[in-house]
A and B are shown apart, each in its own frame.
Chain A
Amino acid sequence: MTTSMTDSAAVPQPDAQQPPTKNTAAGKGGNPGLFRLLLKDRFAAASALVLVAVGLTALVGPALMGDLATKQNLLFANKAPFTMAHGWEYFLGSDSLGRSMLARLVVASRTTLSVALPAVAVALVIGSLWGVWAGYHRGWRENVSMRIADVIMSFPSLLLAVVVLYVFSPSAANIVLILALTRIPIYLRTGRAESAELQSRTFVDAARTFGAKPNAIIVRHVIPVVLPTLLTLATLEFCYVMLAESSLSFLGIGIQPPDVSWGLMVSQGRQYLQTAWWLSIFPGVAIVVTTIAANVLAAWLRIATDPAQRWRLALPRKRLIVRIPAKEAQP
């Protein structure tokens, strides 16, 4: 899957040789609204659609499915997907207890998102703010923060989760907290690195010469620049957290049946892979599609919110790429 980001990165910047005023290109025609820009990029628009669909499913889907997800019907056990012969609810097949895969996927989407989203969000907020603060001030704050991050990182995060969840009860809130805790160092490190680089930039120096307070500078100059990178990172983390949750569920200390999550479905279906592939493939696909969509959209957003890069989105990418080999053919 080619994301919009890798594409535009592959195109050499055409105005490298020209005066910097060239960058005005994108801005000249007024700032096209983000939504208009989004429609222009097919990949990003499709990703946004996928995410909206997943979100809506998680929001209203479980209510529509009623008790279908838990209703067992051994007559319909392990039915193969893609046939309407057993009614619409078995279109995506059924599991060994004859429960509808479709209904289970829909219900699981809510559980999955309600664990992954808060976990990612908590880690993102705490890790980023901490990292940005540490990187901006440098010195002992940076050193202490990095050592703490090292300590957390050096523990295998799953092991830590196992220990904690054995001690405390494996409730959803605990899962969220432990997953967030183990992922904080990721944001902390990135936020620190970016912020340490930014704090030496001239426009930050300029703000210091007005007497602006460190926190004001962090809010005004550091966070807006660091945020897109961290958001992109967060979408990748989203995938990791979903899989981590499924591992915990697999070990029996994550989501507890009869609740169901995509990750739990993948791990439960694993033993039937040879006889009933759909049991783990469908939730797996759901995880992958959601993550990729989030990732593509984040990559796009990173470019779209950067005024210096936005012009890339207006680039007719196809033509540029096609014409480069044409040039080499020339004598």
Chain B
Amino acid sequence: MTDLALEKAGTATVRRLSPAPFGIGALLIVAYGVLPLVASEYLFDAILTPFLALALAGLGLNILIGYAGQVSLGSSAFMAVGAYAAYNLALRLPGLPFLVDILLAGLVAAAVGLLFGLPSLRLRGFYLAVSTLAAQFFVQWVFNKVGWFSNDSPSGIVTVPPLSVAGLPLDSSAGRYLFALGVVTAVTLAVWRLVESPTGRALVALRDHETAARVIGIPVLRVKLLAFAVSSFIIGVAGVLWAFAYLRTVEPAGFNLDRSFQILFIVIIGGLASLRGAFLGAALIVVFPLLLSRLGEALLGGLFDSGVLEMSQRIVLGLLIVTFLIAEPAGLTALLDRAWSRIAGRFRRAG
């Protein structure tokens, strides 16, 4: 009894000493304070900003797949909706501050998400996944077909206006990065509050056993639609970042099925139902191929042409992902957790 109590107290201390608050704090200091001063344009525009946008999209999809257990293959469609909505709001209502544009763009994406979430009331699993494909194809087709969305641009590719918030121009690489960082921080915080709330627990209950959730009085239909709406809202905001902070152009082809799969892989590789997972997964998906390609180029660039290198990198990347998932099917998050507890355990034993 005493032993048990002691052990309980022990784990509690470890919990309290867990590195999370320090980690987050240090991360934020580096992201806000250090990186803007030291990072190069390459780091901002080729790595950090796309990483933030994709991590946010992964976060959004994780609410739907990881927490609520609803499979979706249409993520990039909602990114497109967010991007085009923000572009049209900025173009047609120039008086609105950009932060309001983002909010409205997210709401538009949420509305579209709600619409395409309706089949989830009847369908599950693979059938639902296939029905979300409809969103993917339909949205891309609409933006291609209806010139109004791209302001009748003859080539269908639009350039977004320069980014500025409250009169402050954020058009530089660092400015766009900081803007993206601010948005991602705010949304992540909101999502963290959400998943810790009763609503978050309702989502998990829905995922784990729909009938049981219904029995204990969770309004299943409402919660499902809420999951679709919140998830699409966040993915829509990610689309705004993708268009305004990262590429600064919008075209329907940029939001194709490949992008949806990319976001899905971020969630699966990073770890389902975890906030960290989206960030870890996005880091792997964005940074790793670049690292590999630079290494390949530096080591073998003289020997093979870039096509051969590219193909071999794909093979290496694929193998690594398979290895990761065999080592830990629950994703990078679980892998890190295990590594951390092993290190912490060793420290405890040593101490």
- The answer to whether A and B assemble together is no
Q: Which residues of B contact A (CB under 8 A)?
A: none
Q: Which residues of A contact B (CB under 8 A)?
A: none
